[in-house]
Structure 1
Amino acid sequence: MTHDQDTPSTHRPAATRATSRDVARAAGVSQATVSLVLGDKWRGRVSPGTADTVRAAARDLGYRPNLAARSLRMGHTRTVLLVVPALTTEFFARVYTGAARVAADHGFGVVLYPSPQGIGPARDPFDSAAATLDGVLASSMAAEALTALRAADLPLVMLDSDPDDERATATVNLDIADGARQLTHHLTALGHRRITHLAADVRSWTFDVRSRAVAASLAQVPGTRLHRQPTALGVDAGLRAAHAALTGPGPRPTALLCDDDIIAAGACKAVRRLGLRVPDDISVTGFDDLALAVAVEPELTTVRLPAEEFGEAGMRALMAALDGRPAQPPTLPVQLVTRGSTAPPPATPDNAARPGGR
Structure 2
Amino acid sequence: MTRPTSRDVATAAGVSQATVSLVLGDKWHGRVSARTADLVRETATTLGYRPNLAARNLRLGTTRTALLVVPALTNEFFARVYTGAARIAAEHGFGVVLYPSPDGTGPARDPFASARAALDGVIASSMAADALHAIGGADLPLVMLDSDPTAGRAAAHVNLAMADGMRQVTEHLLTLGHRRILHLASAIDSWTFDIRAQALTTHLTPHTELRTVRAPLTVDGARTATEAALAHPHDRPTAIICDDDILAAGACKAARRLGLRIPQDLSVTGFDDLALATAVDPELTTVHLPAERVGEQGMTALLAVLEGTPWTAPDIPVTLIPRDSTGPAPTP
TM-score, L = length of structure 1: 0.81
**Inter-CA distance 137–162: structure 2 relative to 1 (3 Å threshold):** same
Aligned equivalents of 1:63 and 1:289: distance in 2? 42
Q: Partner of 1:69: helix, strand, or coil?
A: helix
Count of residue pairs the alignment pairs up: 323
Is 2:164 aligned against 1:175? no
Is 2:60 aligned against 1:77? no
In structure 2, the partner of 1:282 is 266
1:232 to 216, 223, 241: 216
Shift of residue 329, structure 1, vs aligned partner: 2.8
Once the two structures are superposed, residues 92-117 of structure 1 have per-residue CA deviations (whole angstroms, 9 ceiling, x without a partner) of 11110110111111111111111114
Aligned equivalents of 1:47 and 1:235: distance in 2? 60
The answer as to whether partners of 1:64 and 1:107 remain within 8 angstroms in 2 is no
Is 2:125 aligned against 1:139? yes
1:162 to 136, 148, 152: 148
**Inter-CA distance 179–37: structure 2 relative to 1 (3 Å threshold):** farther
Q: Partner of 2:308: helix, strand, or coil?
A: coil
The answer as to whether partners of 1:98 and 1:310 remain within 8 angstroms in 2 is yes
Aligned equivalents of 2:188 and 2:314: distance in 1? 25
Give 1:171-320 correspondences, 5 Å limit.
Answer: 171-218=157-204, 221-248=205-232, 251-320=235-304
In structure 2, the partner of 1:10 is none
**Inter-CA distance 38–303: structure 2 relative to 1 (3 Å threshold):** farther
Q: Partner of 1:158: helix, strand, or coil?
A: strand
**Inter-CA distance 38–104: structure 2 relative to 1 (3 Å threshold):** farther
| Structure 1: gaps of 5 or more residues | 1-12, 350-358
Aligned equivalents of 1:188 and 1:175: distance in 2? 20
Q: Partner of 2:163: helix, strand, or coil?
A: helix
The answer as to whether partners of 1:140 and 1:159 remain within 8 angstroms in 2 is yes
The answer as to whether partners of 1:196 and 1:253 remain within 8 angstroms in 2 is yes
Shift of residue 304, structure 1, vs aligned partner: 0.3
Shift of residue 187, structure 1, vs aligned partner: 0.4
Is 2:321 aligned against 1:344? no
- Residue identity matched to 1:214: L
Q: Partner of 1:333: helix, strand, or coil?
A: coil
Identity %: 70
The answer as to whether partners of 1:282 and 1:345 remain within 8 angstroms in 2 is yes
The answer as to whether partners of 1:84 and 1:142 remain within 8 angstroms in 2 is no
Aligned equivalents of 2:33 and 2:256: distance in 1? 59
The answer as to whether partners of 1:115 and 1:142 remain within 8 angstroms in 2 is no
Aligned equivalents of 1:34 and 1:99: distance in 2? 28
The answer as to whether partners of 1:155 and 1:321 remain within 8 angstroms in 2 is yes
Q: Partner of 1:269: helix, strand, or coil?
A: helix
Q: Partner of 2:206: helix, strand, or coil?
A: coil
Q: Partner of 2:134: helix, strand, or coil?
A: helix
Aligned equivalents of 1:208 and 1:23: distance in 2? 56
| Structure 2: gaps of 5 or more residues | none
2:94 to 102, 108, 115: 108
Q: CA RMSD in A?
A: 3.4
Shift of residue 66, structure 1, vs aligned partner: 3.7
**Inter-CA distance 247–17: structure 2 relative to 1 (3 Å threshold):** farther
Range 265-274 or range 119-128, more displaced: 119-128
Q: Partner of 1:138: helix, strand, or coil?
A: strand
2:84 to 80, 90, 98: 98
Give 1:53-68 correspondences, 5 Å limit.
Answer: 66-68=52-54
Q: Partner of 2:178: helix, strand, or coil?
A: coil
In structure 2, the partner of 1:4 is none
**Inter-CA distance 35–284: structure 2 relative to 1 (3 Å threshold):** farther
TM-score, L = length of structure 2: 0.87
